[in-house]
Structure 1
Amino acid sequence: MTLPRVKVVVLGGTITMAPSAAPGITPTLTGDDLLAQIPSLKDVAQLEVSTPFLKPGASLTFEDIAGLAKGFAQDDANGIAGIVVVQGTDTIDETSFLIDLLYAGDAGVIVTGAMRGASALSADGPGNLYAAISAAASPETRGMGCLVALNEELHAAASVEKMHKGLVSSFQSPDGGPLGYFLENRVRLLRKPVRRSTLKRQPSAFPSVCIIKPCLDENPALLNALPALGYSGVVIEAMGVGHVPQQVLEAIDKVVKDIPVVLASRVPGGPVYKNTYGFPGSEIDLISRRGLIPAGWLSPQKARLLLTLCLACGMNKSDIEAAFAHFD
């Protein structure tokens, strides 16, 4: 039997980190090094491995991920069955969603990493990588866009969040749980994600979009300064179901005249509301009266990514609202 072809792209992260001359662990291991730790992979897939660079997850860029997604489309056309991206967990919740928005191919893309370094007594990297490659090789993940494989669970890119700083069970999907599991060396899917939106254009440049998190008794000075600082859009990381302090409303009114403003929430579970509270600074006030765009179920980080891509594709406000409506 001919094994499926799986491409493995290693970008760095904790899974590649080992002690060095410097204090602490640093990116060290290449893709070949990682695969050599798991000889049983020879029975799972024909592997094509590359290590374009080794970076911590926090230092990845839009250009890094967009370049990968463009290459994945060509890989899909060339008969690759699945693709695995190995990277740092600091940004897996973001990069997986960015890939999901940019990539429209059928070959499944699985993003994985590790919470513990390669030299840890109970390193989780090899198990995560084995599960990710197995998932990428499985016909069950075809057409499902980008998934995240960690701790024997498979998550949708649009919903997965890093919920703990250090546990191997850090990654969870607050609304709905995992799509499935990797148990007894096989993928067991409970449901499939809804592929809500992919871009019809591939952007070549990425405008600056920031996240502002109003807190108790917030000073509006930073909001007032945003357009002058060169930002093309902003995500408000609001309280609760989509509320902000009354003292920042004047600043929001000024900003929304110049750049798109998206309303998300700092609370991990649930969507931004649209029709419940009516006081100044409530979601009805912000969306219906002041023109903010609701982020739906998206986290502030994911909302920033979607807004950035919308602006990069030259969308107007009604187009941006329609893009976010896919996630409501």
Structure 2
Amino acid sequence: MGATRTVAVYSLGGTIAMTTDPATGGVVPALSAHDLLAAVPHLAVHDVALRVHDVRRVPSASLTFEDLTELGAEIDRTLADGDVDGIVITQGTDTIEETAFVLDLRHGHEQPVVVTGAMRNPTMAGPDGPANLYAAVLAAADPRLRGAGVLVVLNDEIHAARHVRKSHTTSTAAFTSPGAGPVGLIAEDVVRLTAAPPRRFGPLTRPRVRDVRVGLYTVSLGDDGELLTAWDGRCDGLVVAAFGAGHVPRRLVERLEQLAARVPVILASRIDNGPVLTGTYGYPGSEKDLISRGLVPAGTLGPYHARLLLHELLAQDAGREAITEAFAAFAR
């Protein structure tokens, strides 16, 4: 890589940092960032200086928006000094696709942020954490990834935060980018870009203006819409994970129209791969019908990412017009 590069590593816990708890016999997050890096001695042969920060030691299912705000503020302070070339975050894989997307929406620096973790904990045969951490550091230090925003690196693949999904519960190849593919891979200690990172949206400013609650409602066969009433008055916005390209049973239409008159309702697809259509089908409950009733199409965002974008926009008191424009940016 030439001159010495500096990478700051932030650890949040997760499977990559787990060891056996004698009391329960199960694994729990206990290892520090220094412990994790000690398992990757091969990093010493590269001209990369590491700065290590322990932030949390929790399973990723317990991470919160407040945790990400605190982490983002620490990263901002680190990058403001100007002498760090990239950031690596280690965490559990359960929520990597969500935390990476939120951080990408907020990230306003040229230095890349690389999120990684592990599918096999250190007590198992062939733990993948050291290899993933090694690859993540190489990616964060590579100058060709400047401006790429937040990336996810596991299994020697580099994925953009906008597209990455966890698509298997246990496989070390669990992370994929449906419809897009990875933007690069790492082989023989070299970052090899295979596609240009997608155009980024934002950055959205911090700190958040207010706390918000955004619901996620998944449509299913035989759905009569009765459970939609549970969200009425209890959320600031709602994402509907609809059938196919954005379709719901006819019985849901009236309730969704009523909700959309009170709070932003985003129309996504539960398939989580491909765009929500806007002008093809015209029957009651179709995408054209629902959009005409006030629902906002999610573009190519799946329901989980759509929920996060709506949360970030509402937290800044964005109005309907700004919300519609923001989701329209993800239709391209």
TM-score (norm 1): 0.97
* Aligned residue among 232, 239, 243 for 1:227: 232
TM-score (norm 2): 0.95
Question: What corresponds to 1:28 in structure 2?
Answer: 30
1:164 paired with 2:165, answer no
Question: What corresponds to 1:62 in structure 2?
Answer: 65
Letter in 2 for 1:66: T
Question: What corresponds to 1:213 in structure 2?
Answer: 218
* CA RMSD of superposed structures (Å): 1.2
**3-state SS of the aligned residue for 1:5?**
strand
* Aligned residue among 154, 175, 180 for 1:176: 180
Letter in 2 for 1:99: L
> Is the CA contact (8 Å cut-off) linking 1:246 and 1:281 kept in structure 2?
yes
Gaps of 5+ in 2: none
How far does residue 145 in structure 1 lie from its aligned partner after superposition?
A: 0.2
1:269-308 alignment, distance < 5 Å: 269-287=273-291, 289-308=292-311
> Is the CA contact (8 Å cut-off) linking 1:237 and 1:264 kept in structure 2?
yes
How far does residue 202 in structure 1 lie from its aligned partner after superposition?
A: 1.2
1:247, 1:196 → 2: CA distance?
Answer: 37
1:99 paired with 2:103, answer yes
How far does residue 228 in structure 1 lie from its aligned partner after superposition?
A: 2.4
How far does residue 201 in structure 1 lie from its aligned partner after superposition?
A: 2.3
Question: What corresponds to 1:125 in structure 2?
Answer: 129
Question: What corresponds to 1:18 in structure 2?
Answer: 19
**3-state SS of the aligned residue for 2:55?**
coil
Which stretch has the larger CA shift, 16-25 or 311-320?
Answer: 16-25
How far does residue 147 in structure 1 lie from its aligned partner after superposition?
A: 0.4
1:203, 1:323 → 2: CA distance?
Answer: 19
1:70, 1:222 → 2: CA distance?
Answer: 38
1:314 paired with 2:317, answer yes
> Is the CA contact (8 Å cut-off) linking 1:13 and 1:113 kept in structure 2?
yes
Question: What corresponds to 1:109 in structure 2?
Answer: 113
Gaps of 5+ in 1: none
How far does residue 160 in structure 1 lie from its aligned partner after superposition?
A: 0.5
Question: What corresponds to 1:5 in structure 2?
Answer: 6
How far does residue 161 in structure 1 lie from its aligned partner after superposition?
A: 0.5
* Aligned residue among 68, 71, 74 for 1:71: 74
How far does residue 200 in structure 1 lie from its aligned partner after superposition?
A: 4.2
Query: Against the structure 1 CA distance between its residues 93 and 53, is the aligned structure 2 distance closer, same or farther, given a 3 Å change threshold?
Result: same
Question: What corresponds to 1:88 in structure 2?
Answer: 92
> Is the CA contact (8 Å cut-off) linking 2:104 and 2:203 kept in structure 1?
no
1:165, 1:276 → 2: CA distance?
Answer: 35
1:263 paired with 2:267, answer yes
Which stretch has the larger CA shift, 190-199 or 42-51?
Answer: 190-199
2:204, 2:33 → 1: CA distance?
Answer: 32
Letter in 1 for 2:211: F
**How many residue pairs align between the two structures?**
326
Runs of 4+ residues over 6 Å off in structure 1? none
How far does residue 2 in structure 1 lie from its aligned partner after superposition?
A: 4.4
